[in-house]
Structure 1
């Protein structure tokens, strides 16, 4: 049985390789689109063109969407195998980082630790998000703790071993992330600007924490490679809205093959679904969490 699973794993890797290594133009376009729309949204609200009731959810949506390019940049998926285009990869990360409020240059330390120790309490820095299971007050507090961990992990765990350049970049990113919010609230003379900037950010960050971290790893009781993350399958009526998740409902694909770009998750999932099932990957209804049969 183990030999059969090893052979199936090789087949899955072979399939995944076909989706890796190319320049990720869709991610580059997404980066530019999210950044442009975010600036336009704030500007439109500042000039009274849209209300606080529209601007706040738009900021939330764009905040959520900004994390996917950051996440892709952390894994080096934007420049693919083109080492000379690494600067494009990094600039995409730096551009969206102030929106999601997570420093790009230091996020790789936290995120790679999460990959290395997925679902291991005390080692996986994202394990704290499992606290969302304890009710609504815990959901709020856990989201705030998650923000803090994403921003403070480098200072707590990597500061002393980091080079001066890394420290300067980390501090600069924190200042930009905090600074644009403070300046926007202080300089835009429009009632509700703090709600747009802060409440919009909180709900966008919460949606990211919930769908990127909490739901794919729940119930946090398995550390096996094919079983520590789930694929969450949308019901038919939700398929027209599935694009909004940017593939993150198929988070098992990412943990298995981190160099596959997000817009290839669905294609690869369809290819290797029998292999996933043979390895016991949880393939669940996104709302019911009941196993989805073939």
Structure 2
């Protein structure tokens, strides 16, 4: 495997359309109404989760609640930090307003540091996932696939080190254009584990492990489930409108689950038009649904179940 197929990836990279020109134009017209603006809800989610992480960690350190509670709370709050990385890769935070490109990149960098999913380095992996969805040779997210539940859980928790392995296997370190993000990703992990080692030497390693390192593994496991596994299973289709799915849950729980999983119940829309901010992909889906149905999209509708 080489890096040749990675050289032309960009923030709008996605699988080329093999759909009717009329349907594609109609879907694009809908998408344009939902992208291009500054995604302030993403900004607020990122900043709000930073405050939440600080409060949760302080509560654990002062004994207001158990360390293990903070571990799970921080693990979930890191999902909001990941959204800044995820949407930032596609310039989904700044949209077409380049005056806010600095904010897009700043929040994505912060999110990458906290989640140990580095903005530069992960961007190459994520764009490869978009271009080669469900291609087991070139899509790094197919790591989170399979039928054995125990192996799946293990893979969910190890997706991040698998990215580093894939970067190395693809030879990113040999390519001048890709060497920098590869080294950044490696530096992220080396620094984190070095800090943890220092923490244990000086007596605060348990706190660091419980409040930061363990939550990053909980976060990446959640990402593996709601981003990489559920929307793409059974990981067979490599067609633009059918390589991902939409899940419409019973009305009593759909809205709550959609908010909690950062709208990944509509993951297909992100694959079709990755520059739409995560909080608008549900709206885009409902406007686009007739087009998606005409294209045979995988819409799992349990609304009336």
Q: TM-score range by the shorter chain?
A: 0.7 to 0.9
**1:235-254 pair list within 5 angstroms:** 235-241=250-256, 242-254=258-270
Work out the CA distance in 2 between the residues paired with 1:73 and 1:260.
11
Matches within 5 A, 1:1-294: 5-131=20-146, 133-135=147-149, 137-157=150-170, 158-162=172-176, 165-166=180-181, 169-179=184-194, 181-182=196-197, 194-241=209-256, 242-285=258-301
Paired residue secondary structure (1:130):
coil
- 2:3 is matched with which residue? none
Greater shift in the superposed pair: 46-55 or 157-166:
157-166
Rounded Cα–Cα distance in structure 2 between residues aligned with 1:204 and 1:119: 22
Deviations, residues 29-81 of structure 1 (Å, cap 9, x unaligned): 11111122112222221121211342122012112222111100111111111
C-alpha separation in 1, matches of 2:107 and 2:270: 19
CA contact (8 A) 1:24 1:79 kept: yes
User: Per-residue CA shift, 1:203-242, capped at 9, x if unaligned?
Assistant: 2221111001100000011111000000011211213423
Q: What number of residue pairs does the alignment pair up?
A: 284
CA distance in 1, matches of 2:37, 2:205: 44
| Whole-Å separation in 1 of the counterparts to 2:192 and 2:208 | 17
Local SS of the residue matching 2:144: helix
Residues 213 and 18 of structure 1: is their aligned pair in 2 closer, same or farther, counting only changes over 3 Å?
Answer: same
Matched-pair contact (CA < 8 Å) for 2:164–2:185? no
- TM-score by structure 2 length? 0.84
Q: Distance in 2 between matches of 1:253 and 1:74?
A: 16
- On the 8 A contact 1:99/1:177 being kept in 2, the answer is no
Gaps of 5+ in 2: 1-17
